[in-house]
Amino acid sequence: MVIIMNDIEIRQLNKFYNLLFENLEKDKKLKEKSILISFLKPQKASRFRLLRRSTLSSDLIPNHILSSLLSKRYIQNIDEIELYAITGRGVWFIEKSKELLNKNILISYIDDEYFTIKIKDLNDKEKIILFSLISTRTFSENSTVDLNKDIPVKNRWKHVMERCYDKLNDLKIIKIEKDKLFKRTGNMHIVSYIFRHNNDMVQRTKEIYSYNRKQEYYLDLFSNSYFSDEKLSYLFWKIFKGSITADVGVDIINFCNDISKQESIYLFEGGKHIFTMPSYDLKIKDGLFDSIINKEKWDKIS
């Protein structure tokens, strides 16, 4: 149904609109220069307070205009019998006519604010942790960073993380100072401290980074004899953002393979840790280069 508005009605409706708009600006609650969008988030009581402050008296509006705007449901009576305020329909009419808002803009805003799960980038510490887990091939619950292990094993994990720090620092992927990352806190071993104070990483990796109640930390890449190449590609992208050259890629692959060969015997129980097999050298290579090839896809997924 098309509603016809004459110029006088539009001018009167704009008075209601402008009053509410100005009050939103004063309260610093105006978003996207739109009243309708600004009203999506505040609590009900807050919205009503704004409407009550943005009323016009019926004495200021010709009776026939008042009646017409009421019949079109563009304004409404608020509390006292002579006070009126704009409605959502009225706001929509004004903002659409001024091209401040249309269905596409409104739906895009609602989608971004209420339907989109926003995943933050990894910080430097998280990149080091993730790179350490990839390079050691901590790919399942049978191959974990086990914080229940004795001090020599934890010291070995610290050694791995220091090597991964050095590599990422050399590639200018991180900026954090080494002393700040490995600063000892209380009596807790630094590796235990780093992992136990790192829960945000679960969400930031779409729950691929995992841990259990036994204080074991790992990447959930291998389950029921299936290895997820796509998840590995995504994790490499989280660290390097697909912005590395082929030569740098080869260097990273060689580094990861060397870490696995040199460190696995100290970190894992041999019979359970299956990821030292040569087939996983290929998966490391494919995962890294896939993260570069599919950079555009991961950029959109984030």
| CB contact at 8 A, 178 and 149 | no
Q: Whole-angstrom Cα distance, residue 132 to residue 209? A: 12
pLDDT digits (tens, 9 = 90+) for 10-46: 999 999 999 999 999 999 999 999 999 999 987 888 8
pLDDT digits (tens, 9 = 90+) for 86-103: 999 999 999 999 999 999
DSSP sequence for 22-38: HHHHHTT--BTTBHHHH
The radius of gyration of the chain from alpha carbons, rounded to an integer in Å, stands at: 29
pLDDT digits (tens, 9 = 90+) for 197-242: 888 999 999 999 999 999 999 999 999 899 999 999 999 999 999 9
| CB contact at 8 A, 97 and 28 | no
Joined tokens for residue 163? 């090597």
Please report, for the chain, the start and end positions of each structural domain, with discontinuous segments joined by +: 7-115, 124-301
| CB contact at 8 A, 19 and 12 | no
Edge-to-edge order in the sheet of strand 83-86: 56-57, 83-86, 75-77
Q: Which amino acid is at 87?
A: T
CA 10 and chain centroid, separation = 42
| CB contact at 8 A, 284 and 257 | yes
Highest mean pLDDT among 5-9, 115-119, 282-286, 295-299 belongs to 282-286
| CB contact at 8 A, 218 and 141 | yes
